[in-house]
Amino acid sequence: MSQKQHQQEKQEQLPQILVLGPPLVYKNHEHEFAKRFQILKPWESSLPIHLFLSTYCGSIQAVLTSGLFKITADGVLCHLPSLRLIVTTSVGLNHINLHECRRRGIIIANAAGVSSEDVAELGVGLLINVLRKVPAGDRYVRTGIWMTNGHYPLGSKVGGKRIGIVGLGSIGCEVAKRLEAFGCRISYNSQREKPSVPYQFYSNVCELAANSDALIICCTLTDETRHMINKEVILALGKDGVIVNIARGAIIDEKEMIKCLINGEIGGAGLDVLENEPLVPSELYAMDNVVLTQHVGVHTNESVSDRFEAVVGNLEAFFSNKLLLTPVLNY
């Protein structure tokens, strides 16, 4: 047997997984994944996704995906009759049809806790950048306007601001911890009050906005939270208020937010996520009081490596009939 044949036979003996997306963690660690699993890669096929799945994936038991790939009942799950596990590199699960997964007994594991600090850091960074007008000031200097027009209009300090956190989970708590160091006063809205934290709780997000200088969105996207940050909430925040979104774009009514920004009814926004990514509403490009990043809150060199360990740990536990590391839907 040739070395090539030996390697091929060894590869075929590895557990088989279907990768959908593919997620960044797979792109950055493709060689390491190939050592542990036999990978099915629909993006390398000329077949439409539904034909690839129905042709090659009938016996697949495990899927690796990201938050950007939708796992639907009719588009994906109906073609995977043997599927028992979905591992997603995201924290949120709004891209997965949970009802169908429950009905079919499919286990789901996510990357909970792996990137909470990274997302929180970006949230605080966006807040600082909006309040202190850092990107706009940078452009002002680089284009040479500073030399002729003098100083750019002043920004506002972060210290002492009233910060409303929408969703006090692992990410929200990390945001609060960091902003406490700036002397900010923290309050929050969440599904339920958390007696273990010292922050003021508001059961109504509009009341939270009315008593905040900035809202930082950290909650998950559900039917209940979709467009939760609506015109009423934005107007309650006020003309100097800032919105930072490090969760999901659709939690904010984007059209209403843009209208409020245009009309000066809100002070600014820091957005790592948008409602129809990667499409960016053209109005946002011209706004110096808006800071945009490309849904990178969970992605740092360190967190991608940590997520690789979590993903591989979940997959290897599944194929070894052991407990998953981070299950979110289990039976």
Alpha carbons 188 and 91: distance in angstroms, whole number: 20
Find all residues with CB under 8 Å of 184, minimum gap 6, and list them: 158, 159, 160, 161, 162, 163
Alpha carbons 311 and 34: distance in angstroms, whole number: 14
Give ∠ CA 150-151-153 in degrees, rounded to 5: 130
Q: For the residues of 77-118, what is the DSSP string, one character each? A: GGG-TT--EEEESSS--TTB-HHHHHHHT-EEE--TTTSHHH
Question: Which is the catalytic residue, given 29, 117, 174, 248?
Answer: 248
Max Cα-Cα span within the chain: 76
**277 included as an active-site residue:** yes
Which amino acid is it at 61? Q
Are the C-beta atoms of 140 and 154 separated by less than 8 Å? Answer: no
Alpha carbon 319 to chain centroid, angstroms: 27
Question: Which is the catalytic residue, given 36, 84, 178, 295?
Answer: 295
**248 included as an active-site residue:** yes
Question: Which is the catalytic residue, given 9, 30, 32, 277?
Answer: 277
Alpha carbons 33 and 22: distance in angstroms, whole number: 12
Residues that are catalytic = 248, 277, 295
